[in-house]
């Protein structure tokens, strides 16, 4: 599965209309498009600039061909007119789901909050990183109350760069897990040893569209 992840910035006064236009026009058109697998709109918890509101937008596709077909479809241009005037800026990156390193527990509709962590892994330790997520990190999360999903998304342009997309039933459930001694100790230390640079995470509220 291909994931298109976009950072979208909207003026505060346009947020309500932007969400409504996605709900009424964009998403219904996407559902009709062959190869479309779903869309999620996330509002960032941290908004450092009072003049804009930052969203993360996921569109999921069966494959690259499906995503490209939508980008050039007449319907795409038609419905985009509803949101283009409301968007101050948008930047996008594509990822592929690493299915055998990802985990989903139960009904995804339970998710209310999300985290996205972009991690640059040391080139010679990518397989070790994926194995550790599969064998230790995600099973540990799956035992936690409120865990919904942990998806490993690989950058299509860099095989050692990953976006880790986590979903929880509540902010409290996520915080309880990430502040647990096991995660703060063994897991965090091991992951940091596998990465180039620092580990940063952005938190989001899932917006109903």
Question: What band does 15 get if pLDDT is binned at 50, 70 and 90?
Answer: very high
Cβ-contact 164, 116 below 8 angstroms? yes
pLDDT for res 34: 96
Question: For residues 2 and 32, what is the distance between their CA atoms, to the nearest angstrom?
Answer: 17
Indicate if the pLDDT at residue 193 is higher than 80.
Answer: yes
The reply to whether 2-96 and 98-207 are identical in fold is: yes
Mean pLDDT, the chain, rounded, equals 95
What CATH number belongs to 2-96? 3.30.70.100
| Fold for the domain defined by 98-207 | Alpha-Beta Plaits (3.30.70)
Tens of pLDDT, residues 90-116? 999 999 999 999 999 978 889 999 999
User: Hey, what are 116's tokens?
Assistant: 């996205």
Domains of the chain by residue range:
2-96, 98-207
How many other CB atoms sit within 10 Å of the CB of residue 171? 15
Question: Which run of H or E residues covers position 115?
Answer: strand 113-120
pLDDT for res 200: 83
């Amino acid at each position: 599965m291909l994931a298109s992840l976009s950072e979208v910035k909207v003026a505060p006064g346009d947020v309500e209309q932007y969400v409504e236009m996605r709900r009424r026009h964009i998403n219904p058109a996407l559902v009709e498009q062959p190869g479309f697998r779903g869309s999620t709109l996330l509002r960032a918890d941290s908004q450092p600039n009072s003049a804009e509101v930052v969203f993360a937008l996921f569109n999921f596709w069966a494959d690259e061909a499906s995503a490209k077909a939508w980008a050039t479809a007449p319907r795409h241009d038609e419905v985009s007119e509803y949101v283009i005037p409301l968007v101050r800026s948008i930047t996008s990156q594509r990822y592929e789901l690493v299915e055998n390193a990802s985990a989903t527990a139960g009904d995804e509709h339970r998710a209310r909050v999300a985290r996205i962590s972009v991690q640059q892994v040391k080139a010679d330790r990518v397989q070790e990183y994926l194995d550790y997520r599969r064998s230790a990190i995600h099973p540990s999360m799956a035992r936690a109350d409120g865990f919904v999903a942990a998806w490993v998304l690989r950058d299509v342009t860099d095989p050692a760069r990953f976006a880790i997309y986590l979903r929880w039933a509540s902010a409290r459930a996520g915080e309880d897990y990430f502040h647990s001694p096991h995660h703060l100790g063994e897991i965090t230390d091991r992951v940091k040893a596998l990465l180039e640079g620092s580990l940063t995470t952005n938190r989001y509220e899932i917006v109903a569209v």
